[in-house]
Amino acid sequence: MAGVQLDGRAVRAGAEPEAVPLGRADVPEMLELVGLTRPGPFLDRTVELGTYLGIRHEGRLVAMAGERMRPAGWSEISAVCTHPDHLGRGLAGRLVRAVAAAARERGDSPFLHAAASTTGAIRLYGAMGFTLRRSPVFLGLRTT
């Protein structure tokens, strides 16, 4: 699958007061949200790879974003998703900025990957200050 890798060093990062940390106890809700939105690979232990933040509405998880890979000096923002009933409120952007802020506090630069076909998300990331770094091809492998 064709993809893009976006550099987030120019993103205006900042804390998000509505964001709550997500952990093991939140995994069932996180998997449900991922199942609805398909942001990319996210399994039941992905939450252990880095900090994940969410926004709740009436107690229900409606948006989330977090960190997956952390190569030296960098932090990959991943699992950016918003429940379809809550789109258009800027929730994902607010969470991306909060995750980017946490990465910067550690001295890391944020980056992310997206499928090239998700042009709306890529436009949103560009408006936030992400810039194209490269265009990789994603391959999925599973061992049995």
- Taking the C-alpha atoms of residue 108 and residue 76, their distance in angstroms, rounded to an integer, is 10
Other Cβ atoms less than 10 A from the Cβ of 3: the count is 17
Task: Please indicate, yes or no, whether the overall pTM of this predicted structure exceeds 0.85.
Answer: yes
Q: 140 pLDDT band (50/70/90 cuts)?
A: low
Choice among 4-8, 25-29, 103-107, 138-142 with the minimum mean pLDDT: 138-142
Shortest CA distance to 115 belongs to which of 73, 74, 67, 81?
81
Domain membership of residue 90 (yes or no) is yes
What's the CATH number where 57 sits?
3.40.630.30
> Is residue 55 scored above 80 in pLDDT?
yes
- C-beta neighbour count of 92 within 10 angstroms: 23
* Residue 117 pLDDT > 60: yes
Mean pLDDT of the chain: 90
CB within 8 A of 115, min separation 6: which ones?
1, 2, 3, 4, 40, 138
Looking at the domain assignment, is residue 5 inside a domain? no
Confidence (pLDDT) at 102: 93
Give a yes or no: residue 123 inside a domain. no
Domain residues for 79? 13-109
Q: How many domains does the chain have?
A: 1
